[in-house]
Each structure stands twice: as C-alpha cells, then as structure tokens.
Structure 1
Amino acid sequence: MSSFVEHLEAIASAPTVEALWALHSEKMASYGFDRLIYGFTRYRSGGSLGDPQDWVLLTNHGDTYMEQFLGKGLLANAPMTNWALENTGSCSWRWMSETDHLTEAEKAVVAFNLSQNVAAGYTVSFISTNERSKGAAALTAKPGMTQDEVDTLWETHGREIEVMNNMMHLKIQTLPYSQRNLTKRQREVLQWVGDGKTTQDIAILLELTPATIEKHLRLARENLDVETTAQAVLKAAFYNQMFVIESEAA
C-alpha cells in the first residue's frame, strides 16, 4: 500500500479523470471499499439535482446494479443521498439501520441494496462552494464485511480516507470531464467567444465563413443543452472543456 503522502501526490499529478478514478478506486479497495459511486452536480435546484447528463458520475459498480439504481430512480430516494444533501463530512451506514426515521421509499432503496450485497459502508459529503453545487461519494465495503467491521476500520483510518476522497473531489474539478462532449472546433469557437470575439472576428481568425461559425456555435449550444452562447461558454467552462490541452483531454 502506497503511503498517504505518495497517494496524495499521485492524485495531484493525475492527468485525466480516468487515471484519477483508477488510482482512487485501487486505493479505496485496499481499505476494503471495493465499490464506489462518486457524484457531483453544479445544477442543484430545490429538490432537483439537475439533468443527469450534467452530473459528473463515476462508479465501479456493475452495470446491472447501476441500471437499476439510476434507471429506477433509486438514487433520489437513497437515504444516504438525502443525508449528503443536508450534511458535510462522513457518515456510517449504521444510520440507515435505524429505520424509524426512514420513509417507505428510502426503506425500499435499503432493501434493494441489501439484495445486491450493498450492505455496509460510509458516505462522504463534500463542502459545497455555492447553493447549487453538491458532491458526495458512497464507499461500499466488500461483501462479507459487517458495519461493525467498517466502523472499526473507520476509527483507525477514517480521517485519511476522508482526506483522500476530498482530494479526489477537488482534483476532478480541475480536469476536463463531461457527459456532453464538444468537438475540437466547437470548443475553439466558444473559446474565442469567451475572449470577447464576434462571429465576424472568429470567422476571420479561423478562415471560415460567419455562417460556419454560427453552425458550430449552434451545435455547441445543442450539445450542452443551453439556449444562448453565453450559457454555452459558462457550462463548457464549468466542466473544463475550455482551453484544454489536447493530450490531456483525449
């Protein structure tokens, strides 16, 4: 097992989200957390987490589990999701065993998880920088581990595990990632708009016609699911799709 400092250095140096997630998953598995879900949104509004296509969502759970967990709306009713939305820090899943405070929908999620050997673990909820953003990670202990065993492990290693998850969360926000991918040309025209250039200016700079520039801007707006070019620039910037280094964005 790499040292705490070595792992933080590796996280800080990870060039892509994929490389970062592989490092983090391997490290968490070394503690006994072999299945993870990480989620982050900048589009929380009221009780909604925004469009799932705008989430950063990473997991190493199997497809069968995730298809049901996401596809059947279980995520929104998961007790630890609701805990994470209202709290910051880490929480033992023992909290869910006290079913008196759970709704019927939450109890149904707990029952589903137990049927999938998602029985023991911890949730880490990250500090939000504004009222519309929220990020959290669910750390599922390997099958056979009890919550008592997980809580004992957390007493010894919980602080370092929480710090590692926070570092992973912060690093992800510096790397290009989005389920709404832009082409190189769409990024390019948005970058010039972000620099204050007009359509005519961009056409001259790229040696294209204004109509072609407008087409790329329209396609960028459609890919990002926004109405205006200003919104497209903002959303692309949120997900580090602006001014990316091509070798890192690949």
Structure 2
Amino acid sequence: MKDTLDYIEAVMNETSLEALWDRHVLRMADYGFDKIIYGYTNFRSGLSLGDVEDFFILSNHSRDYLDKFLGEGLYFHGPMMNWTLKNTGAQSWNIAHKAMQSGQLSDRQRQVYEVNQQYGMHAGYTISFPTVSSRTKGAISLGAHQDLSQHDVDEIWARKGRGIELINNVAHLKIHSLPYTNPERELTKRQREVLEWVGDGKTIQDIATLIGRTPATVEKHLRLARDSMNVETTAQALLKASFMHQIYLPESQT
C-alpha cells in the first residue's frame, strides 16, 4: 500500500506531461504491461469519437503500429472498442479472445484482432475511465509482455488489479489537468492572449487597447487562432483551446 501511495503522490506532484508519462510507463512495466496506449477525446458524439487529429494520445508503441492502428482507422474497430464505449472500469482481453474463437467478431474486428496479434498484442487489459459528459471519453490499453499469456495476465489482475486500476485513474486525472499541444493545433502566445481576452468578455476594440495593437491586428490573431484550432468561429476556438488546456496558463508555462 505504501508503494502505491508513494507512486500516487509522485504522480500528483508532476508538472511535466513527459515526465508523468515516462513514470507511468515504467510503473506499468513493473506489472508486466509494456505496450501501452492512452487516448482521450472531448469531441465524442454518440458512437463517433470525432476527428482523430483532435484525439489526445500517449503511447510507447512503435510508430509503425500507431500509424496503422490510428492512421488507418483500425482503432474504431478494435475488439475492445465496443466494450470501452459502453462501460466504465477494467476488462480482460479474454472477452475478445472468446469472441474471436466463437466467430462473433465482425470482419473488420477480426482484421484488427489479427493485426494486434502480429504486433504482439495478444494479452492485456483495457481500462475505460469514468466520463464527465457525453462528449468525453478516455481509456487506456495495457498490452502485456510477450512472455505472458492472457491467463497469466488475469492472474496478475486478480492479485493486483484494484491497485493497477486505481493508479491508472489517478494518472488519467493528472494527465487531463496538464497542458498539452498538438503541433498542428498549437497557439502562439499572442493568439492565446487574444482568446483569453475574448473569454473575459472583451470586444475587439477593448483587446486592441489592452495589447496596444490595432483592431485589424486583433482580428488577424483571432483568425489564426481559429485556423490553428481548425474551427469556424472564435467561440469554437475558445472552447477547443480550453479543452486542450492551451489558455489561462500559469506564467511559468506560457
């Protein structure tokens, strides 16, 4: 228990996303899970998870696997995806193995299952995190070391699963609290500043006065902010930047 509490305390004190993820990867490896992918979206709508470009992804998988799994859209047809969208908590991959053996997987699900096998994703657990709204979804896939069978993993989970699920939930909450950027969605300091003033209810003229620039310059920065967020309106840019923790940052992070 002390070891778990020490880990949780260390996670909660992390201020760097990179350091937090490195710590979590090492911790999961201690339990036998050495192939991990964490995903989160604020843009879920029904069964759609939104644009993959807006997903927040952390992983220690090979680039080749991620290009195939995410880039080719295999993620949505993963055997565990249907369970993840409908449930909260932890689930053994044994249900996917049983569905495969009984012929219950669709053609696309079977294709993804076979790709996962090719990349050594033959045993593991998936944790689906509690959601705060119908627009959000977060989950983590814990792929086991190649020397472990699904039976081995289920035995590990029977002994240590409660603690593993707890620290993954803590890591999820901490990850979600830290600023992150997609290089194609990153705001400049000036774009961030004008969006923050918009969020405070200031007009274009007000912002121009506050930052010592012309209204036309303010409009330019807002347009570039909309382009960075890949949205049509300033309100949408403000919302997406907020979701991505790119505005109202402490001075040390700007």
Shorter-chain TM-score bucket reads over 0.9
Partner of residue 106, structure 2 = 103
Q: 1:215 aligns with which of 216, 220, 223?
A: 220
- How many Å separate the matches in 2 of 1:55 and 1:5? 30
Q: Deviations over 1:160-202 (max 9, x none)?
A: 1101111111111211113211111110000011111111111
Give TM-score, length-normalised by structure 1: 0.96
Partner of residue 151, structure 1 = 154
- How many Å separate the matches in 2 of 1:56 and 1:134? 11
- How many Å separate the matches in 1 of 2:131 and 2:71? 26
Secondary structure, in 3 states, of the residue corresponding to 1:221? helix
Q: Is the Cα–Cα contact under 8 Å of residues 175 and 240 in structure 1 kept in the other structure?
A: yes
Partner of residue 235, structure 1 = 240
Partner of residue 26, structure 2 = 26
Q: Deviations over 1:63-89 (max 9, x none)?
A: 111111112221010011221011110
Q: 2:120 aligns with which of 117, 120, 125?
A: 117
AA aligned opposite 1:119: H
Give TM-score, length-normalised by structure 2: 0.94
Q: Is the Cα–Cα contact under 8 Å of residues 47 and 85 in structure 2 kept in the other structure?
A: no
Displacement after TM superposition at 1:246 (Å): 4.6
AA aligned opposite 2:138: G
Secondary structure, in 3 states, of the residue corresponding to 1:84? helix
Partner of residue 226, structure 1 = 231
Partner of residue 171, structure 1 = 174
Secondary structure, in 3 states, of the residue corresponding to 1:34? strand
Partner of residue 208, structure 2 = 203
Matched, 1:133 2:136: yes
Q: Deviations over 1:99-144 (max 9, x none)?
A: 2322121111111111111110000001111111110000000111
Secondary structure, in 3 states, of the residue corresponding to 2:80? helix
Number of residue pairs matched by the alignment: 249
The 5 Å alignment of 1:55-134 reads 55-98=55-98, 99=100, 100=102, 101-134=104-137
Matched, 1:41 2:46: no
Q: 2:190 aligns with which of 180, 185, 189?
A: 185
AA aligned opposite 2:74: L
- How many Å separate the matches in 2 of 1:190 and 1:184? 10
Q: Is the Cα–Cα contact under 8 Å of residues 68 and 74 in structure 1 kept in the other structure?
A: yes
Partner of residue 3, structure 1 = 3
Q: Is the Cα–Cα contact under 8 Å of residues 52 and 70 in structure 2 kept in the other structure?
A: no
Matched, 1:142 2:145: yes
Q: Is the Cα–Cα contact under 8 Å of residues 16 and 248 in structure 1 kept in the other structure?
A: no
Structure 2 alignment gaps of length 5 or more: none
* Displacement over 2 Å in runs of 4+: 245-249
Displacement after TM superposition at 1:55 (Å): 1.1
Secondary structure, in 3 states, of the residue corresponding to 1:168? helix
Q: 1:162 aligns with which of 130, 146, 165?
A: 165
Structure 1 alignment gaps of length 5 or more: none
Q: CA RMSD in A?
A: 1.4
- How many Å separate the matches in 2 of 1:71 and 1:234? 26
**Percentage of matched positions with identical amino acids:** 50
Secondary structure, in 3 states, of the residue corresponding to 1:79? coil
Displacement after TM superposition at 1:245 (Å): 2.2
- How many Å separate the matches in 2 of 1:164 and 1:208? 48
AA aligned opposite 1:78: G
